[in-house]
Amino acid sequence: MNAQKQITALRNLLHKHNHSYYVLDSPTISDYDFDMKLKELQALEAAHPEFYDPTSPSLRVGGAVTKNFETLKHNFRMYSLDNSYSKEDLQNWETRIKKQVDGPVSYTCELKYDGASISLTYLNGNLLRAVTRGDGHQGDDVTTNIKTIKSVPLQLKGDFPDNFEIRGEIVLPFDGFNKMNQVRVAAGEDPFRNPRNTASGSLKLQDSALVAKRPLECFLYSLVGDNLPVTTQMQGLEKAAAWGFKVPNIAKLVSSIDEVLDFVNYWDGHRSDLPYETDGVVIKVNNLQQQEELGFTAKAPRWAMAYKFKTERVSTKLEKITYQVGRTGAITPVANLAPVALAGTTVKRASLHNADQIALLDIREGDTVYVEKGGEIIPKIVGVNIALRDDASIATVYKDKCPQCDTLLSRTQGDAKHYCPNEQGCPPQIIGRIQHFISRKAMDIEGLGGETVALLVNQGVIQSYADLYDLTIEDLLPLERMAQKSAENLVAGVAHSKQISFERVLFAIGIRYVGETVAKKLAKHFKSIDALMTASFKELVEVDEIGDRIAQSVIDFFELEDTADLFSPVNTSGERNREMITRLKNHNLQLAVSAETLVGQTSILKGNTFVVSGVFTKISRTELKKRIEDNGGKVSSSISSKTTYVVAGDNMGPSKQTKAEGLGIPIISEDQFLEMI
């Protein structure tokens, strides 16, 4: 088979498997086989850039970076919806409808997904563009990011119209949202507050590879265009599903407002069983002819109505405010409540976030508080019933000492949280740091779990993650529930972790704000812990996507205080951390990028920004970009005054050429570039 045929066959195959997995929820291939096929396709595409296709399934993994999202005008305005809250509201709506249209009216009831709305345009069955709602008249072009959402078809099947739009909602299911937060918390970052904001924030991330990692879903529910081959909303959903879209599977056709209310009541009671957030029901006149007769008000269609679920709110007594200490020393105040039933669960605790939040609502122990569970999964306290407050009540004084080690808490300006600064002596911090170190995405130490870590620390066997590497079977055997076999496994697991790559070691050592992605960037740039330890603030912020906050945190982590103050503790934390690194080095952990990864890497292009355009003959576009980055250069997607060179292949875009010429930016050929490196 020739390469082109092979590429086409692989693309078709992957489109099919994607559809089965993400749209139909019934996988037809193992994850492993899928990855292998995708790799095969990526390799072929890299070797044959001439067969580039903007709808290839390989684009699902992302990679393109958008600095500024282009504003595009909607061909058809994206309206808002009118809201209703009662049976009466709905009856009034029906009366208005009946005045305008003849004949019986039936309705489709759909869930109102709480996410970010999106409009997709398909031209000849290919996804052309994806635009956010914006102000309804114009929105942002987020096509590159949307392509990474696996349930959005890049190519359609069946009898689709040549040119149409389809609208829907991007949502982040609870499950994926919770997993993302676990990772963030492990990296010392604040968790995201709710799935909706996280979903809409994701669409505006500059790096599409990050979007690809977020488990976003897209439900499409509304066809827009001229001469569509459908006559009802319900038929529209059916057709869209046949063309390959993920449409809401909960949609019901009813013929009266009473039946609408049955649907509303059912889902109000069952929405907590759904894997994603809904904040109501959307009711639409089913017949498109009738929809057209009804038309729009200035703001919303007259043929549709949202029915908002009431956010469930209960009141209960706040018995006590306690404080939790995290791995990074961050303090979280927790409200301990008199148990109360709310949205299908019993709530006993709620996060109070930070001192400001408590002060803002003037929350006090003994208060009767209102607890809500709406969008957020975690219940939150939204207010206090002051009328029920006891005369003897006193305002909450935020704790000033660590609840675990009694050290005075500190709070830096601009940070909402208080921290316990006793990094080396505060038990939850010591244990948390080691638990993070051994976790799956960090050193992935087999045979050692979080509880054993706590036991080892509490028994005084270890005090730091470096101590793990000195552990012997004899040290472990005296511990409760530690048999010979498990002790052997633990020691072997620790030894095995010495092979873990530098970027993961860098993530594991627990520098605040250095999560997985940042660790990768730092490892790639500095290549060894020694280089990172000696890097200045300026050198750090020069690295792509490393901001002031991360840079300062890295500096603080390794900082040696040279003030010869007799009263200062012997070991500053910077000194301790450096000592820890030396010990890890002596144990032969990977504290530099391995020789294999270093092959072909230089810094000769440092300080230069490249824009790559056109089709290349010697190496693929992806390879070209990789070589720019491997040699210390930056790749950017659009030409600006910051661009140093444009590398042009065949068929370079004419607008890019004019722009480069206008700004006087040199345009070089593939050969000239290869000579440079």
Positions in the binding site for Zn ion (CB under 5 A)? 402, 404-405, 407, 420, 422, 426
Question: Which residue, 127, 161, 130, 144, is CA-closest to 65?
Answer: 144
Catalytic residue check, 112: yes
The DSSP-derived string for 573-598 is: HHHHHHHHHHHHHHTT---B--HHHH
Window of 105-113, 121-129, 269-277, 394-402 that interacts with ligand AMP by CB under 6 A = 105-113
Nearest distance in Å: CB 480, ligand AMP? 54
- What dihedral do alpha carbons 657, 659, 660, 661 form, nearest 10°? 80
Amino acid at 149: I
Helix (H, G, I), strand (E, B) or coil at 672: helix
481 touches 527 (CB < 8 A) = no
Number of residues lying near ligand AMP (CB under 6 A): 11
Query: Is residue 165 involved in binding ligand AMP (CB under 6 A)?
Result: no
Amino acid at 245: F
Which entry of 87, 112, 380, 498 is annotated as an active-site residue?
Answer: 112
202 touches 216 (CB < 8 A) = yes
Number of residue whose CB is nearest ligand AMP? 117
From the list ligand AMP, Zn ion, none, which binds 420 (C-beta under 5 to 8 Å, kind-based)? Answer: Zn ion
Nearest distance in Å: CB 414, ligand AMP? 32
Whose Cβ is closer to ligand AMP: residue 133's or residue 433's? 133
Whose Cβ is closer to ligand AMP: residue 113's or residue 610's? 113
235 touches 287 (CB < 8 A) = no
Annotate each residue in 261-300 with x if it binds ligand AMP (CB under 6 A) or - if it does not, as one string: ---------------------x------------------
Q: How far apart are CA 669 and CA 677, in angstroms?
A: 13
From the list Zn ion, ligand AMP, none, which binds 486 (C-beta under 5 to 8 Å, kind-based)? Answer: none
Query: Is residue 644 involved in binding ligand AMP (CB under 6 A)?
Result: no
Window of 107-115, 350-358, 533-541, 563-571 that interacts with ligand AMP by CB under 6 A = 107-115
From the list ligand AMP, Zn ion, none, which binds 402 (C-beta under 5 to 8 Å, kind-based)? Answer: Zn ion
From the list ligand AMP, Zn ion, none, which binds 221 (C-beta under 5 to 8 Å, kind-based)? Answer: ligand AMP
**Joined tokens for residue 68:** 């500024």
72 touches 135 (CB < 8 A) = no
Pairing of β 312-325 and β 368-373: antiparallel
Annotate each residue in 457-486 with x if it binds ligand AMP (CB under 6 A) or - if it does not, as one string: ------------------------------
The DSSP-derived string for 397-459 is: PPP-B-TTT-PBPB--TT-SS-B---TTT-HHHHHHHHHHHHSTTTT--TT--HHHHHHHHHT
Whose Cβ is closer to Zn ion: residue 278's or residue 328's? 328
Nearest distance in Å: CB 577, Zn ion? 18
From the list Zn ion, ligand AMP, none, which binds 422 (C-beta under 5 to 8 Å, kind-based)? Answer: Zn ion
Whose Cβ is closer to Zn ion: residue 174's or residue 398's? 398
Query: Is residue 245 involved in binding ligand AMP (CB under 6 A)?
Result: no
Contact partners, residue 95, CB within 8 Å, separation at least 6: none
Amino acid at 208: S
Q: How far apart are CA 57 and CA 11, in angstroms?
A: 6
Buried b (16+ CB within 10 A) or exposed e, 312-339: bebebebeebebebbbbbbbebebebee
Nearest distance in Å: CB 615, ligand AMP? 39
From the list Zn ion, ligand AMP, none, which binds 426 (C-beta under 5 to 8 Å, kind-based)? Answer: Zn ion
Query: Is residue 302 involved in binding ligand AMP (CB under 6 A)?
Result: no
Q: State which of residues 160, 192, 221, 513 lies at the interface with ligand AMP (CB under 6 A).
A: 221
From the list ligand AMP, Zn ion, none, which binds 372 (C-beta under 5 to 8 Å, kind-based)? Answer: none
Instruction: Enumerate residues 66-95 that contact ligand AMP by CB under 6 A.
Output: 80-81
Window of 106-114, 124-132, 312-320, 437-445 that interacts with ligand AMP by CB under 6 A = 106-114
Contact partners, residue 270, CB within 8 Å, separation at least 6: none
Amino acid at 381: I
**Joined tokens for residue 540:** 């750090």
Q: How far apart are CA 497 and CA 493, in angstroms?
A: 6
Element (H, E) at 348: strand 345-351
Q: State which of residues 112, 418, 512, 525 lies at the interface with ligand AMP (CB under 6 A).
A: 112
Nearest distance in Å: CB 557, Zn ion? 18
Catalytic residues: 112
Binding residues vs ligand AMP (CB under 6 A): 80-81, 110, 112-113, 117, 133, 169, 221, 282, 306
